[in-house]
Amino acid sequence: MSALARTRRAVRAVALVYALRALAAWILASPLARALNSTVAAQHPRGDAILFDAGGLELIESLRLSLGVLGSELKGALLIGTVLGALSVIPAAALLAALVEDEPSGPAEWVRRAVTLFPRFVLSFGARLFLQGAVLAVGALALGRLGRRLASSWPEQSADLSVLGLGLLVLAAASALGIYEDLFRVESARGATLGRALRQAGALLRARWLALGGSWLCLVACALVLPLLVAPLVGIVDVSRPGSWRLVVVTFLHQGVVLGMVAARAVWLAIVIELGSAPRAQRLPIDLQVPPSGPIPAEVEAHDTPPQPGE
Amino acid sequence: MSRLAEAAAGVGLALLGLALTVASADSQAQPSAGARPAAPPDGQPVRVASYRLEASLDAPAHRITGKGTLTWTNTSSEPTRELWFHLYLNAFKNDKTVFLRSPFGAGRSGDHGSDWGYIDVSRLVVRELGPDDLWARAARHSPGDPDDQTDIVVPLPAEVAPGATLHIDFEWQSRLPSIVERTGYSGSFHLLGHWFPKLARREPDGRWAHFAFHPQAEFYADFGSYDVTLDVPAEMVVGATGSQLRDERVGARRRLEFHADAVHDFAWTAFPDFRERREQIENVDVRFLYPPGHEANAAATVEAVRFALPRFSRLYGAYPHPTLTVVHPPEHARNAGGMEYPTFITTGGPWWAASSGLRMVEGVTVHELGHQWFQGVLASNEHQWPFLDEGLDTFAEMRAMSARHGAGSMVALPGLSVSGAAARRALAIRAGHDHPVAQPAERFSSFNSIGALVYARTAIALETIGNVWGHDALERALESYTRRERFRHPGPKSFLEDVRTHLGSDAHDALSAALFDKGWVDYELADLDCVQQGPARGVFGDGAERTTIASDGAQQRSCRALVRRKGTLRFPVDVELVFADGTRQRRRWQASEDWATFDAAGPSEVVAAVVDPDRNVLLDENLGNNSRRKRGEFGHRTLERMTYAVQLALGLIGP
């Protein structure tokens, strides 16, 4: 496949993931928005523009009045969100299939492969979320205690920054689980068996932790910076003022952010694929210029050999 | 006022003090035969209870050993055979005290202390009544409460006549608790409030205003002068009420002397790690003490005082002292933050607070500074009428923060601003039916209840009064009250009369009902309906005379909006009618009756109506029923924002 064809395919895959994620978000957000809107804004001559007025009087009143309804809608949203979260594995797997596949293929083929991978991916997604939650909970508990201890003996800034630094390490540990899951899924998308995918993902993480970690940080930075960059612009456009064009502009800005984040994730997955394919990097069209940080273990070298009996 | 003028004023105050001392010396010989005290001249403090204290701080043990002389004049109209002392530190002596026992448990901070505190008086002699140690006769506990020792009566061997002055020598030792709130230690940080035996105030009618230290209540005392000598470890940086007269190093110790006049309390802090900044603001020497790393907070604090001190002086009468000390406690002593003493306030917030977009440091600073007027200069009975201090001060803070920061006076983040009025209204409405606002502090069911009613609801009631009857008039009422009642311990009636004078009886009645009678109001746009009007249409007549009159397209629309007012409060409001052609029409409703209809006829239909469109009545219990439109709106903006938020969340945790 040519580089252009690969890029086109990646763009189509990104668009598919973005569209499905937007649909999922809309399904989840609609009842919440309806509940919030129903109390003050729905009957007001200015509609829900008042919820965005400076000072937050109407917004706080809407939250106050709709707290009960919002609570029950939130419970429903969590239930639907769990189902959608599990289903969102499919577009994510489709994206991966599109990126991994060497031969020309279309959305139908990606989705077919994604459905095949669904049981394994949904399992890894659940396991990753559970482990990340456990790491973050234990980390938060330990850091809370440490923070209280340091606060009484260390200068405040030093204590807070130390806790923050350790907190970043906890986040790095949680992120490593996410990186590991992505490596595992790439190997799975390439056809490795469950055991082999687990082993190869671990080996690759150990061998290329610096490159993977650096790339992951870029992805995280992108996810943080994009919304922060856009927020002041949204404030300037100010949807509380008359003019439906304001809402259009804000929608474009926000969806630009989301699209950028999905694209950044696709680039990250391409990097993972690239790093996992280092011995044959010359055959890959995407030159990401990420040098391997150490010798490739034999088990990684052999990652695309056919599975052995008993694996 | 220039430095020279300030010095001249200082000399004047000293001469006045001397005159009072001479006058009191005359009455020493005959404590039971003094003359009736003269009424205080307007705006001038009367020195009723003046303290000369010497105290030494044992920092590692968090102990103070002190002795002092209290010069007290019976300014009431009745003789007395007793003295009432507040030993506030005993509130932290054990978990059975009024302050610490269930259901209160902890103070407003919600945190329990980890170390006990107490105060022991070892000697008390009234010079005019003989050499006997009267403390031996003192009650062992607060009246009717054997577990509490914060409110102690000392019987006197002879009657003290109105106008007589006593010189009371006493010695004591205090042990500071770990900080729960307002006072105590945390590491090497010490905040010393209520650290000496404090005489209760005797009201003009002869009643002693004494009370056990309740976690929800604050304080009440007479004005006087304070001359305090402190002996502390040499490495301590000390800030205190009043002006520092001397700072002398003696070996490993330091001796500092402070003088404060026309104050009713003395507090101080000692901490070796304080950084210091000084500013001259409106001829007041303002000293900022803050821990290392809080430079940004200190800068925000300076700016807040630079804005608020001149504003409050202009609105509520000139700040009467030459000094002000603003203390930012270290974060491990955060419960010492947000407290006011005369010429000495504590602010608070973590080191990153000033850069966070939450105006925590500025808000707390402006609030505590406002207390210099409502608690410091007016000195109302905070135990009896907490709203006169905390409520009026919260309103003053809210207005000041709004004048400085506009709609983002509490939170200013990209795309989100929250005003102090909006946040406080939510609290005030939630608790509106729980208790009256105007009642003693200990009658509230919790500190949250005090927070919602005394602080927030008073401020929101005043904001409503200002919005409806004019903020200029309300400012004049407050100005009149605060200037006339300087140093006079006013009660609620005085303030309400100023409201009547400057804003009228309706405003007075509304405020009075809101404060004393759990007054409430809910405006509702109950119905909006339109019918077509014009030449009759249809089939008319019979037989040959039958005619059909069709619509000529020039039908008039006759619309009616039904507005209701529920509750006990009445505020005049606007009712706005919005027509299909985009025009708007406003009508005034005095709201003296429970409901009213507003009719409009014309070619354009009324498509929406709203009562109180400017949201003047912040006491309105439900803003959700204030409007009605013919066709509801879907809420695209809300949906867009929520969808975006969910998309971000999915991106964060999704596969």
pLDDT tens-place string over residues B293-337: 999 999 999 999 999 999 999 999 999 999 999 999 998 898 999
Q: What is the pTM of this model?
A: 0.87
Q: pLDDT value at position B400?
A: 98
Measure CB to CB from residue A48 to each of B332, B635, B652 and give the nearest one.
Answer: B635
Mean pLDDT within A213-229: 87
Q: pLDDT value at position A288?
A: 39
If one counts every other C-beta atom within 10 angstroms of the C-beta of residue B38, the result is: 10
Whether B610 has its CB under 8 Å from any CB of chain A: the answer is: yes
Residue A84 and residue B654 in contact, taking contact as beta carbons nearer than 8 Å: no
Q: pLDDT value at position B158?
A: 96
Of residues B532 and A290, more confidently modeled: B532
Task: Please report which helix (H) or strand (E) contains residue A309, including its range.
Answer: none
For chain B, the C-alpha Rg in angstroms (whole number) is: 30
Is 80 exceeded by the pLDDT of residue B109? no
Residue B444 and residue B391 in contact, taking contact as beta carbons nearer than 8 Å: no
Test A125 with B655 for CB contact under 8 angstroms: yes
Give the range among A256-260, B218-222, B601-605 with minimum mean pLDDT: B601-605
Whether B637 has its CB under 8 Å from any CB of chain A: the answer is: yes
Q: In 3-state terms, what secondary structure has residue B292?
A: coil
If one counts every other C-beta atom within 10 angstroms of the C-beta of residue A152, the result is: 13
Is 60 exceeded by the pLDDT of residue B358? yes
Residue B221 and residue B201 in contact, taking contact as beta carbons nearer than 8 Å: yes
Give Dmax over CA atoms of chain B in angstroms: 125
Q: Using 50, 70 and 90 to split pLDDT, how confident is the model at B69?
A: very high
Is 90 exceeded by the pLDDT of residue A91? no
Residue of A nearest to B631 (CA): A43
DSSP B37: P
DSSP B111: P
Residues of B in contact with A125 (CB under 8 A): 655
- The sign of the CA dihedral B327, B328, B334, B340 is positive
Of residues A285 and B571, more confidently modeled: B571
Test B422 with A254 for CB contact under 8 angstroms: no
Tell me the β-bridge partners of B284: B281
Where is mean pLDDT largest: A66-75, B101-110, B450-459, B623-632?
A: B450-459
Q: pLDDT value at position B140?
A: 94
If one counts every other C-beta atom within 10 angstroms of the C-beta of residue A218, the result is: 14
Whether B144 has its CB under 8 Å from any CB of chain A: the answer is: no
If one counts every other C-beta atom within 10 angstroms of the C-beta of residue A228, the result is: 10
Q: pLDDT value at position A110?
A: 78
Test B648 with A54 for CB contact under 8 angstroms: no
B40 phi, psi to nearest 5 deg? -65, 140
Is 50 exceeded by the pLDDT of residue B36? no
Interface list for B 404-423 with A (CB within 8 A): 406-408, 411, 414-419, 421-423
What whole-number distance in Å separates Cα of residue B232 and Cα of residue B254? 5
Q: Using 50, 70 and 90 to split pLDDT, how confident is the model at B112?
A: low
- The sign of the CA dihedral A174, A175, A177, A181 is positive
Q: In 3-state terms, what secondary structure has residue B257?
A: strand
Which residues does B164 contact at the CB level (< 8 Å), separation at least 6? B27, B30, B31, B32, B33, B34, B73, B74, B128
Residues of A in contact with B624 (CB under 8 A): 39-40, 43, 61-62, 65
Q: pLDDT value at position B533?
A: 75
Interface list for B 349-378 with A (CB within 8 A): 350-352
pLDDT, one tens digit per residue, over B626-642 is 999 988 778 999 999 99
Is 60 exceeded by the pLDDT of residue A299? no
Q: What type of residue is A104? A: P
Contacts 24+ apart (CB under 8 A), B144-147: B145/B98, B145/B212, B147/B94, B147/B96, B147/B97, B147/B98, B147/B101
Q: Using 50, 70 and 90 to split pLDDT, how confident is the model at B22?
A: very low
What whole-number distance in Å separates Cα of residue B502 and Cα of residue B47? 32
Q: What type of residue is B156? A: L
Of residues B60 and A20, more confidently modeled: B60
Tell me the β-bridge partners of B429: none
Mean pLDDT within B544-572: 86
Most A-contacting residue of B355, B621, B623 (CB-CB within 10 A), to test interface: B623
Test B632 with A29 for CB contact under 8 angstroms: no
What whole-number distance in Å separates Cα of residue B631 and Cα of residue A176? 52
Is 80 exceeded by the pLDDT of residue B476? yes
Test A152 with B187 for CB contact under 8 angstroms: yes
Q: Which two tokens stand for residue A3?
A: 């580089």
Test A29 with B642 for CB contact under 8 angstroms: yes
pLDDT, one tens digit per residue, over B381-395 is 999 999 999 999 999
Residue of A nearest to B329 (CA): A156
Mean pLDDT within A223-247: 91
If one counts every other C-beta atom within 10 angstroms of the C-beta of residue B245, the result is: 12
Q: pLDDT value at position A94?
A: 81
What whole-number distance in Å separates Cα of residue A300 and Cα of residue A278? 9
Where is mean pLDDT largest: A258-267, A291-300, B605-614?
A: B605-614
Residue B422 and residue A57 in contact, taking contact as beta carbons nearer than 8 Å: yes
Is 70 exceeded by the pLDDT of residue A297? no
Q: Using 50, 70 and 90 to split pLDDT, how confident is the model at B341?
A: very high
Q: Percent of chain B scored above 70 by pLDDT? A: 91
Q: pLDDT value at position B1?
A: 40
Measure CB to CB from residue B640 to each of A85, A228, A250 and give the nearest one.
Answer: A250
DSSP B283: T
Residue A4, exposed/middle/buried by CB under 10 A (0-12, 13-18, 19+)? exposed
Rounded to the nearest integer, the mean pLDDT of chain A is: 83
Q: pLDDT value at position B551?
A: 64
Test A153 with B634 for CB contact under 8 angstroms: no
Q: pLDDT value at position B352?
A: 93
Of residues B604 and A275, more confidently modeled: B604
Give the range among A144-153, A237-246, A254-263, B382-391 with minimum mean pLDDT: A144-153
DSSP B503: H
pLDDT, one tens digit per residue, over B177-192 is 999 878 999 999 999 9
The helices-and-strands tally (H runs, E runs) of chain B is: 12, 32
Residues of A in contact with B524 (CB under 8 A): none
Q: In 3-state terms, what secondary structure has residue B323?
A: strand
Q: pLDDT value at position B632?
A: 76
Rounded to the nearest integer, the mean pLDDT of chain B is: 90
Residue B607 and residue B647 in contact, taking contact as beta carbons nearer than 8 Å: no
What whole-number distance in Å separates Cα of residue B111 and Cα of residue B106? 6
Is 90 exceeded by the pLDDT of residue B611? yes
Residues of B in contact with A255 (CB under 8 A): 644
Minimal CA–CA distance to A181: which of A122, A97, A242, A235? A122
Residue of B nearest to A265 (CA): B651
Residues of A in contact with B352 (CB under 8 A): 160
Task: Please report which helix (H) or strand (E) contains residue B217, including its range.
Answer: none
Q: pLDDT value at position A176?
A: 86
Q: pLDDT value at position B525?
A: 97
Residues of A in contact with B648 (CB under 8 A): 227, 257-258, 261
Is 70 exceeded by the pLDDT of residue B564? yes
Test A28 with B330 for CB contact under 8 angstroms: no
Q: In 3-state terms, what secondary structure has residue B234?
A: coil
A156-189 vs A89-100: helix crossing angle, rounded to 10? 70
Which residues does B27 contact at the CB level (< 8 Å), separation at least 6? B34, B35, B73, B163, B164, B165
Minimal CA–CA distance to B511: which of B527, B523, B493, B528? B493
Test A43 with B639 for CB contact under 8 angstroms: no
Specify whether the backbone of B167 is left (phi greater than 0), alpha (psi in -120 to 50) or beta: beta
Minimal CA–CA distance to A174: which of A225, A134, A201, A124? A134
Q: Using 50, 70 and 90 to split pLDDT, how confident is the model at A270?
A: confident
Q: Percent of chain B scored above 90 by pLDDT? A: 79
